[in-house]
Amino acid sequence: MSTPKAVGSLDVVNVISKPWDNNQLETVLSDAIEEYQSRSDAERISLLSPITEVGPAILIVNAEQDSRAHQRSLLATVEGAAYTCRSADSIAQAIESIEADSYDAILIDPQLADARGYHAIASVHAAASDIPLIAIGASDDDEFAVSVVQARAQDYIPRFVLSAPALHRAIGYAIERKRTEQKLTHLAHHDPLTQLANRSLLDERLEQALIRARRRNSMVAVFYLDLDRFKSINDTLGHHCGDTLLADVARRLVGSVRESDTVAGLGGDEFAILLEELHGANEATRLAQRVLNSFATPFRLRGQGINATTSIGIAVYPENGETPTALLKSAVSAMYRAKEIGRNNYQYFSNELHQKAVRRFELETSLGNAIKKRQFTLYLQPQLGLQVGNIECVEALLRWRRDDGSVYYPDEFLEILDETGISAEVGYWTVEQASLLWPRLVDEFGAAPRIAINISPRLLDDPHFATSVNAIFDKHDVKGSNFEFEVSEKSVMADPERVSEMLTHLSQLGIVLTIDNFGTSYSSVSYLPRFPVQRLKLDSSLMADVEHDSDARAMAAALLGDDQQLRFAVEHGCASAQG
């Protein structure tokens, strides 16, 4: 016999492998009985107590008074368990009792007057899905027992084999199985990082909320939230700090709304809030403002205060959608509008946004096939040397010519390219086409000017970008010095250290580097020495009032606009202009 081992509050005295020998089994059972009888009374009670020190509350649902009394008496004989029992003689009475009191388990006769078999169990389970059910019936038919378990009972015990140990054990196992089931359900319906409801649970609750709203003619609102500039925080401080921030945001969101509201984590830095039983749009507005206010206090990350904000889109049932999918899409569109007008605000969905969303969806769908259908083309715009008047460089400007002949400019589709993740593919296509174009410029001009190409932030995020560019140049037998890469000031300042490293790799290929739209952020001036750039293209806003704005004059080197601005540019040493 092996040394006894504890499993829960039970002891394992031996293990027999299948198929076993009957004589061996008889010997092992005899030893186990002898071992049990040698225990003290307290030890014996502990072997029959796998549940808890506090007696479980049991609801006995049975139409027969004698059966209810018998089950009570069995539970009363279990030493150390101290069961608390209440009774109900019908499904209706059981549901009333469940609504009034809390129970750890329910013992139910599946053959009741107001529901039988599967329907009896299903009815009680619908009213108490978190309480384990144990069916106790007269039938010993296996098919009947299976049907009862399929109705969500944890176990079925034929009445004629009922005993105190069997019933006590069944209750303990049913409670434990239910706890395990609830843990698994929680994992399936909650975000592991924030412990908020996930998309699956949000969809379920939203579906049920809309059913109730239709029945009660009430209002439901959905908030869709996206953290502002989360990627920059995540990339700068690391993913661990990013996760800490998301968990802190989740706690603040839960603390900002009502207990009846659902806060969901949708992955990454996106969240949603479901609000029911609203008494008008003003209540939704107050809650949205409360959420924004919760971000006012800096978040503590690595011992320092980090400012973070969020943009909120709001959609209301039934005006902005009558299905979960429609409402969420409307809320997303409103969130993008909040981003567009400056972030850290909330916006309601409107008909104008609906039309914009429809158009955006159509553009997204068409853009996905634009490269395959060869709808992109490059237009060349010269950059003139202001001192000599020669063409120093030509910028390759992307245009999208659709099948109907309409032409779209970058400001109409670049944002969509970035958000759909295909801007990198288009960027590599542009480098490839510019490399093919270079020999043609040589044939036409002899000494061809450089070709300038706008580089998207997604290309700068690609650690293999410089290597891939070099491979393209080798493939078409062109040199890096024949090209100029323009990166926006915004993308450079998003992560100066990482971008500086990438620009260094590109500079080593001989590529001339330019910061585009320079001057929109005064802090970028102090970073200039860190970047291996040769040229700056100043933002046109700097030239709006160069004669009267001393700050603009200090920042501006040049932009070509009217004659007055041109004279200013030449006088202050600007070498070239474009446009």
Does position 179 have pLDDT exceeding 70, yes or no? Answer: yes
Does position 136 have pLDDT exceeding 60, yes or no? Answer: yes
Per residue in 466-483, pLDDT (tens digit) is 999 999 999 999 999 999
- Beta-bridge partners for 316: 221
pLDDT of residue 534: 82
Residue 570, Ramachandran bin (φ over 0: left; ψ between -120 and 50: alpha; else beta):
alpha
From 347, 318, 316, select the one nearest 333 (Cα to Cα): 347
pLDDT of residue 29: 74
Does position 558 have pLDDT exceeding 60, yes or no? Answer: no
Q: Are 216 and 222 in contact (CB under 8 A)?
A: no
CA dist 372 and 1 (Å) reads 74
Does position 573 have pLDDT exceeding 70, yes or no? Answer: no
Average pLDDT, stretch 388-408? 86
CA dist 478 and 439 (Å) reads 8
Does position 290 have pLDDT exceeding 90, yes or no? Answer: yes
Take residue 173 and report the two structure tokens written for it. 């196992």
Query: What single-letter DSSP state applies at residue 185?
Result: H
The identity of residue 129, as a single letter, is S
Domain ranges of the chain: 48-187, 199-363, 368-578
The better pLDDT of the pair 386, 247 is held by 247
From 501, 435, 522, 512, select the one nearest 472 (Cα to Cα): 435
Does position 20 have pLDDT exceeding 70, yes or no? Answer: no
Take residue 499 and report the two structure tokens written for it. 């971008």
Among 69-78, 227-236, 270-279, where is mean pLDDT lowest?
227-236
Q: Are 471 and 441 in contact (CB under 8 A)?
A: no
CA dist 270 and 136 (Å) reads 48
219 Cα distance to chain centroid: 25
Average pLDDT, stretch 271-285? 90
Q: Could you identify the residue written with the tokens 């060349």? A: 380
pLDDT of residue 432: 95
Whole-number Cα distances in Å, 283 to 213, 273, 290, 316, 470: 16, 14, 11, 12, 57
Q: Are 325 and 346 in contact (CB under 8 A)?
A: no
Cβ-based neighbour number of residue 252 at 10 Å:
17
CA dist 309 and 293 (Å) reads 9
Per residue in 33-88, pLDDT (tens digit) is 766 666 655 565 555 554 445 578 999 999 889 999 999 999 999 887 889 899 99
Average pLDDT, stretch 105-111? 88
Does position 3 have pLDDT exceeding 50, yes or no? Answer: no
Average pLDDT, stretch 302-331? 93
CA dist 539 and 488 (Å) reads 10
Q: CB neighbours of 336 closer than 8 A, spacing ≥ 6?
A: 313
Of the pLDDT bands very low, low, confident and very high (cuts 50, 70, 90), residue 106 is: very high
CA dist 213 and 215 (Å) reads 5
Q: CB neighbours of 232 closer than 8 A, spacing ≥ 6?
A: 494, 495
pLDDT of residue 19: 64
pLDDT of residue 519: 66
pLDDT of residue 369: 85
The better pLDDT of the pair 162, 556 is held by 162
The better pLDDT of the pair 357, 91 is held by 91
Write down the mean pLDDT value for the chain.
Answer: 83
3-state SS, 279-305, equals CCHHHHHHHHHHHHHHCCCCEEECCEE
Three-state secondary-structure class, residue 349? coil
pLDDT of residue 52: 44
Per residue in 482-510, pLDDT (tens digit) is 999 999 888 888 788 888 899 999 999 99
pLDDT of residue 7: 43
3-state SS, 514-551, equals EEEEECCCHHHHHHHHHCCCCEEEECHHHHCCCCCCHH
Percent of the chain with pLDDT over 90: 39
Cβ-based neighbour number of residue 204 at 10 Å:
14
Whole-number Cα distances in Å, 256 to 44, 81, 297, 509: 52, 43, 13, 52
pLDDT of residue 226: 96
Second CATH level (architecture) for the domain 368-578? Alpha-Beta Barrel (3.20)
| DSSP letters for 356-375 | HHHHHHHHHHHHTTTTTTT-
CA dihedral over 170, 175, 179, 185, signed as positive or negative: positive
Of the pLDDT bands very low, low, confident and very high (cuts 50, 70, 90), residue 557 is: very low
Q: CB neighbours of 462 closer than 8 A, spacing ≥ 6?
A: 424, 468
CATH number of 199-363: 3.30.70.270
pLDDT of residue 433: 95
Of the pLDDT bands very low, low, confident and very high (cuts 50, 70, 90), residue 560 is: very low
The identity of residue 281, as a single letter, is A
Of the pLDDT bands very low, low, confident and very high (cuts 50, 70, 90), residue 425 is: very high
CATH superfamily of 48-187: Response regulator (3.40.50.2300)
Phi/psi for 382 (5° steps) reads -75, 150
Of the pLDDT bands very low, low, confident and very high (cuts 50, 70, 90), residue 575 is: low
Whole-number Cα distances in Å, 439 to 11, 254, 381, 484: 84, 61, 17, 16
Average pLDDT, stretch 538-552? 59
CA dihedral over 546, 550, 551, 555, signed as positive or negative: positive
The identity of residue 392, as a single letter, is E
CA dihedral over 23, 24, 28, 31, signed as positive or negative: positive
